[in-house]
Each structure stands twice: as C-alpha cells, then as structure tokens.
Structure 1
C-alpha cells in the first residue's frame, strides 16, 4: 500500500501539481469540532456552515470511500492583466476548474484517469470540492491555514486545492515546512474592508466582499457595507495581498489561456455597456460564481465600484444605465445618481 501511495504522489508531481498527500477518511472527523468552534464564535454564521457538516461524515454519502487524495497547484505563476488588478480576484482569473483550455484541468482529468487505471474507485467534485479541502490539506501536512483562513504552502496562498475520494486505505503525510503565523501579526484582520474577517481564523461570509460580489449582494444599493467594497466587482484579494507570508510569492511569468484577450473587454465602463448575450455566453463561462440569470450583477457591481472611486467620466455610463433592460441595474443607477448628486 505504501508503494501505491508513493506512486500516486509521484504521478501527481510529474503532472504538474506542487504537492500531493493522502489521508485516511477518518482524519475528517475533527472537522466537525472546528465548525462548532467557528459557529460558537460567530453564531450568525450557523445557517451558512450547516451544509459543511457533511464533510465530517463522508462515508454517509460514500460508504465505499477509505481515503482522500489531496493535490495542490500553484497559480501565482500567471500574469495578471493590469486593468484587472483590484477589479477581479486573482483566484477567479486563474480558475481552472471548468476551463478546458487550462493545463490544470487537463492534468486533473489525466490524474483521475490514472488512478482509475490503477484499479481505484474515485469520486471528485471540481466546482466546490468533494470534501473540506483546507482541512484535508492541513491533515496531510501540505502546509498551514493562516489567520486569514487561507491555506498556504511555500508558494503562499496563491494555490488551488482539489481532492478525490478513493476506495483504498492509504496514507501519505508530510511535515509542513512553512512557518506558522506570528501571534502578533494582525494585518489581514485590520485590512479586511468590511470587517468580515472579524478575528483570526474567523469570518462572517455574509459580509465578505467575495460573497457580496458573487453569490450575495442581491440588493447592493441597500447593503450597509457597499462603500467598503471599493473597486472590486468580482471577488477580493485584500487579506491575501497584505499578508507578509505572500511577499514575493507571485512570479507572474506565464500567460493563462485566453485571459489577456478577455481582459480587453473588461473595465467598469465596458461592463455597463456590455451586451447581455456577451455577459451570459462569455463572461459567465469564465466567472461562473454568478449564474447566467444573474449576470445583471456585473453591472450593479460596476456601478457600485464607480461610486466608490468616482471619476467625472463615469457620469454618462451611470446615467445611461438608467435605461438598462434589467430593473436591478436601473435601480442601482438611480441610487448612484442620488448618492453622488449627479445633475442629469
């Protein structure tokens, strides 16, 4: 069994993964206690975290599962188009989970095929993970979870994690080499624009900018922290950008497939003038945390960003959005005109 575990890891590394570990499924049992601790610290998050408890009892849904293979790939090697910095979170720019052009997805599919070819039964969920990825990676010794809640390896937090359940009991655990956070460092907490990261290792997802600009924020003009969202229209990197453990960890030497071409279509002004067909067919395919039926949120988020960092050139776009085909966009534009006291 040790030989099989070592071969799985060697194959993963040869396919381009930065790290690979294997834990027994029983190692997930402690995850429930951690969830309880988090909910106790912040009771208002209980409903949000309810759906994660299933990760502590994986065999209820997968009685055949014996172990978890957890792999890590780095995306800090990719170049960020200048006009998208501070606009779209970097993890989403280089999200390969559904991007058939990316070598990361191609390698993921090949790796899964390899394990199945070895006679292993596998189960994966590429969109959001078949288990609690950060907890599994921690138990496998692949790195550490830091005070901003992100998982770090030697590459910093600019990494993607993915996991597979397998039907063989294997184990391959590393000893992490990255330093733990200093108890005296509080930069991530202090820098969180909406105070979603209220204390180390704790956050309120409902007020997180990444949540508000994707799944949430359905009534952004009345959102109490809309002003703290700043210029972000999809995601947020603040707590990772300020982290000392991410210093000099971004190389940006490679180009992500088709991103540079797509970036030419994206700016606050272009989003407001963007055709809904383009939003649904092109933008949503890349940034899928906003559903096709909700692509109007791109325009609402763009208006909010314009208000937060207002320039005179934005006026004509905001005024023009008053005639948008979607009521939510018209409402947001009218709110912006009133808030900024724009004469029309």
Structure 2
C-alpha cells in the first residue's frame, strides 16, 4: 500500500468507528500558535488554570509527543443532543449530558490505532482528547475541517461547532488535506454580544479567566467573585451561550452515539432536587459523567451562587 492507500484506509476506519469528520495535516512546529499562546498566557487569561502553562514546547511541537511524527490526524465527534433540559432547571453544558467523552473517545482512539497498526504494520502513534498538551483546534483548522470562530470554537460549515475534537499523531507520511483558509464568521458579532461575562474579545481572543465554564468547572475556590453575581444566567456547569447564538449551529444535527445519551437526571432534575441532593447520590448518579469533575462541593457552590451570589455555609476552603 502507498500513502494514498494508507490515507484512504485511515479515513474509512474513522468513519467505521463513528467519527463524523477526519482530516489530516503534516506534523510541523506551530510557530504562529506558539507566539499566540505565549502572549495569551502572559496576560493571565488562563486564570488559575496553571496546567495550561505546563509543557509549553509539547503543545507546539508534535515530534516531542511522538518521536518522528509525520502526520496529525484530527477527528470530530458530534455531541449535539436530541433532547434538552426542562425549562428553569440549573443549566448544564450539552457536552456533559451523557458519559464522560474523555473515556468514550479515548477507547475509540485506542481501537483506531490498533486497527491501523494491524492493517498498515509497525506504526508509532498516540491519541489525545482534550487531556494532553495538544492544540487540537489549530490542527483541525490545518486539516481542513473548519475555521476557528470568534468564540474560540472550531466551526464546520456543514454542522456548526458542537463537536468533540480528538487528535492522533503518527509517524507515517500520508496525503494531507488543505488547511481551511476562509473565516465565515464575517462581520457577525452575536457571540461577542451574547457572552454574559464579556469573555469574548473583538480580536478572537477568549479571556478564559472570565468565562462561566472557568468559574463553574475549572476554578476550585469555594468563593466565586462577587462581581460575577447575576451574570451566570442559571448556568451551573459550563456554558453554551456562545454556541447557542452562533448562526452556523442552525445546521447542528442530533448525534447517534449511545454513550452521549443524556443521563435522565440531567434533563429532569429541578432546582429543588439539585439543592437537596446528597453527596452519595451525586457520586452514584454522575460516576460516569464529566459533571463529577467539579465534585459535589463545586456543584453546591455553583447552585448557591446562582441563588444567592454567596455560599450558605461560608466555607472558604478549596474544592478538592
């Protein structure tokens, strides 16, 4: 088999494993991205997410992740749901409706690499899904899958932006897709205008330290900033505002991945039921959910902030 045959096999395998899109780019040093990331970090826009400052070189040089890296395969997996939460409930980002996508997609990546190695021979590679120092949106753009919108999300012309992005770096040459060169956001400013905390800037920069997702998931402090009171629009875990208002997401279609089917409690629990939930129930219900990431204490903190702007119990310890 030549590299064209290899490429065709890889794209066919991606489709068979349930990925919606597959693009391939040459593994190169991301010099422009390195400069942009360095400037973003220097402005403190990562907030207390110190992990984003770690392994800087690995984020921009795929050969440091996979020695001899030749190709970066980017895969998209749709997570747009068919069913939604009941009106008035504390809001949860759509990506967290079902099972933890890290586990679901990581298993698919392991299978992907095994199938490719079985068919094509000795290939070294590593798969990544939002849990390692990989600039997945840049690679998706370079692979021809879409453009990075003003809201910082990768947007596809066909179905919008409700996709998980997975990356597979391998040490074989393949046929490479052309980068997605055009920006179809145009003069639209809907996401900028709709962001409740003004986290989206005019120059496509996202101030991560002002994002509702940062406050409700990443920030481990038991006290949320007082100047954010009244701005969360009932978002308890994550935030989808900038995607919900994006005109390109009118093309979103419900996924067909059973693992992403909503946990019944996510759709049906009322505010009162969330507030009365015990830690034992939380751990049982959300043991396979990404919601467990913020832990029981984080959910209680977020609920209290939505309702009162303060904590009921005055605990100032970090959420561990």
TM-score bracket for this pair, using the shorter chain length: 0.7 to 0.9
Deviation at 1:261, TM superposition (A): 2.6
Give me the whole-angstrom Cα distance separating, in 1, the residues matched to 2:205 and 2:89. Answer: 26
Deviation at 1:249, TM superposition (A): 2.1
Residue 44 of structure 2 corresponds to which residue in structure 1? 44
Contact 1:75 1:158 in 2 (8 A): yes
2:93 to 74, 89, 94: 89
Deviation at 1:80, TM superposition (A): 2.4
Larger relative helix fraction: 1
C-alpha distance after superposition, 1:159-212 (max 9, x if no partner): 111011112122421464986111x21111111101111324111111100010
Question: Computing the radius of gyration over CA atoms, which structure comes out larger, 1 or 2?
Answer: 1
Distance change >3 Å, CA 95–CA 135, structure 1 → 2: farther
Give me the whole-angstrom Cα distance separating, in 2, the residues matched to 1:281 and 1:256. Answer: 17
Distance change >3 Å, CA 223–CA 171, structure 1 → 2: farther
TM-score normalised per structure 1: 0.77
Deviation at 1:59, TM superposition (A): 2.1
The within-5 A match list for 1:171-186 is: 171-174=175-178, 176=180, 180-182=184-186, 184-186=187-189
1:232 to 208, 216, 235: 235
1:111 and 2:112 equivalent? yes
Give me the whole-angstrom Cα distance separating, in 2, the residues matched to 1:181 and 1:24. Answer: 26
Contact 2:192 2:201 in 1 (8 A): yes
Distance change >3 Å, CA 94–CA 264, structure 1 → 2: closer
Deviation at 1:45, TM superposition (A): 2.2
Give me the whole-angstrom Cα distance separating, in 1, the residues matched to 2:166 and 2:153. Answer: 14
Distance change >3 Å, CA 91–CA 34, structure 1 → 2: same
The within-5 A match list for 1:1-344 is: 1-26=3-28, 28-36=30-38, 38-39=40-41, 43-45=43-45, 49-51=52-54, 53=56, 54-76=58-80, 78-82=82-86, 87-94=91-98, 96-99=100-103, 107-117=108-118, 118-119=120-121, 120-129=123-132, 131-153=134-156, 154-174=158-178, 176=180, 180-182=184-186, 184-216=187-219, 218-251=221-254, 259-263=262-266, 266-283=269-286, 285-288=288-291, 290-291=293-294, 294-307=295-308, 330-331=313-314
Give me the whole-angstrom Cα distance separating, in 1, the residues matched to 2:265 and 2:215. Answer: 23
Distance change >3 Å, CA 282–CA 81, structure 1 → 2: same
C-alpha distance after superposition, 1:28-80 (max 9, x if no partner): 3432133245457xx23277553373311232343232221111111225422
Give me the whole-angstrom Cα distance separating, in 2, the residues matched to 1:110 and 1:258. Answer: 21
Distance change >3 Å, CA 276–CA 19, structure 1 → 2: same
Give me the whole-angstrom Cα distance separating, in 2, the residues matched to 1:284 and 1:99. Answer: 12
Distance change >3 Å, CA 24–CA 213, structure 1 → 2: same
Deviation at 1:213, TM superposition (A): 0.3
Distance change >3 Å, CA 240–CA 265, structure 1 → 2: closer
> Any idea what SS the aligned residue of 1:123 has?
strand
Distance change >3 Å, CA 329–CA 85, structure 1 → 2: closer
Contact 2:130 2:166 in 1 (8 A): no
C-alpha distance after superposition, 1:288-322 (max 9, x if no partner): 5625xx421101111222247xxxxxxxxx9xxxx
Give me the whole-angstrom Cα distance separating, in 2, the residues matched to 1:61 and 1:27. Answer: 12
Deviation at 1:252, TM superposition (A): 7.0
Give me the whole-angstrom Cα distance separating, in 2, the residues matched to 1:252 and 1:19. Answer: 13
Distance change >3 Å, CA 50–CA 172, structure 1 → 2: same
**Cα RMSD (Å):** 3.1
Runs of 5+ in structure 1 lacking a partner? 309-317, 319-327, 333-344
Give me the whole-angstrom Cα distance separating, in 1, the residues matched to 2:55 and 2:193. Answer: 27
Runs of 5+ in structure 2 lacking a partner? 316-320
> Any idea what SS the aligned residue of 1:229 has?
coil
Residue 336 of structure 1 corresponds to which residue in structure 2? none
Contact 2:201 2:207 in 1 (8 A): yes
Distance change >3 Å, CA 217–CA 107, structure 1 → 2: closer
